[in-house]
Amino acid sequence: MSLNPPIRDWHGRRVWLVGASTGIGRALAERLHALGATVIVSARKADALQDFVAQHPDSMALPLDVTDAKAVQAAAQSAQASGPLDLVCYCAGHYHAMRATAINLDDLLRHHEVNTVGALHVLAAITPGMLARGQGHISLVSSVAGFRGLPQSLAYGPTKAALINLAETLYLDLQPLGLGVSVINPGFVETPLTAQNDFHMPALISPEQAAQAIVQGWSRGEFDIHFPKRFTCVMKLLRLLPYRLYFAAVRRITGL
């Protein structure tokens, strides 16, 4: 049974992707445009957005810093000026590996500002319009790093755990009112963010594969869209372990 109204036909749908200059967001914008959606892309990198628009007719670029609440409100108004938004996907993300033995407070807070607070800015800007219409879909890109605590994820993991909890709460509040809500939990995807990792990333996939999995998840009406399954299902099983077994398993698997 689908938890959300399945989205199979993208023709005529207006989609706003926040964090779409590179990686998963860019690949997702390309795929949705190819499927017939009117795509609006936002990120801080204006040049990358304009490059996307130049290659994809009828798309729209809205350069944006998600940590600026007023800028998000203004961008949301521009995004909705030509019609209501059928789907908003928050793809923006900041990531640096960090351990508690070497805390960088400024960077730790930057993770929260971009990954979590930015999502709240977007939600505050677009949810009222969707509620007024009684339709629309909100999707948050989280990560398997948000499932449970992991080494080197002191800054990143808590922000992604917050997004999972946020999506669950949004679903409980908004699904009875006709809105769709989903959370996207990728494993390792080959992006500029993961390029900085100096450790083996099991089941690494391309942004294009990630975009395909996301679109498939939306077409099935899924709430929890996670991939690649050969990796994410193992991570889900680890969530079920009691702490004594979980901590021992993670230390054995990571060597940290």
Task: For the chain, 256 residues long, give each residue's pLDDT as a single digit of tens.
Answer: 799 999 999 999 999 999 999 999 999 999 999 999 999 999 999 999 999 999 999 999 999 999 999 999 999 999 999 999 999 999 999 999 999 999 999 999 999 999 999 999 999 999 999 999 999 999 999 999 999 999 999 999 999 999 999 999 999 999 999 999 999 999 978 877 766 766 666 778 899 999 999 999 999 999 999 999 999 999 999 999 999 999 999 999 888 7
CA atoms within 13 A on the CB side of 90: 34
Predicted pLDDT at 189:
80
Q: How far apart are the first and last CA of the chain?
A: 40
Verify whether residue 156 is a known catalytic residue.
yes
Quote the DSSP letter at residue 148: S
Angle between helices 207-219 and 23-34 (to 10 degrees): 60
Asked, for residue 1, whether it belongs to a domain, the answer is no
In a domain, 118, yes or no: yes
195 occurs within a structural domain = yes
pLDDT at 200: 66
Q: How much is the pLDDT for 199? A: 61
- Domain span at 180: 14-254
Within-domain flag for 172:
yes
- Residues 147 and 228: their CA atoms lie apart, in Å, by 15
- The CA R_g of the chain, rounded to the nearest whole Å, is 18
User: Residue 164 domain-assigned?
Assistant: yes
Predicted local distance difference test score (pLDDT) of residue 106:
98
Helix intervals (H) in the chain: 23-34, 46-55, 69-79, 105-111, 118-133, 156-174, 207-219, 229-239, 243-254
Q: Which of 90, 95, 156, 171 is catalytic?
A: 156
Q: What is the distance between the alpha carbons of residues 246 and 228, in angstroms, rounded to a whole number?
A: 21
Q: Is residue 215 included in any domain, yes or no?
A: yes
Q: How many helices (H) and strands (E) does the chain have?
A: 9, 7
CA distance linking residue 172 with residue 236, whole number of Å? 21
For residue 4, what is the DSSP state? Answer: S
Task: Please list, residue by residue across 130-149, b when 16 or more beta carbons sit within 10 angstroms of its beta carbon and e when fewer do.
Answer: beeeeebbbbbbbbbbbbbe
User: What CATH number is given to the structural domain containing 71?
Assistant: 3.40.50.720
Considering the domain boundaries, does residue 200 fall inside one? yes
The answer to whether residue 64 sits within a structural domain is yes
Question: How many domains does the chain contain in total?
Answer: 1
Q: Tell me, what DSSP letter sits at residue 96?
A: -
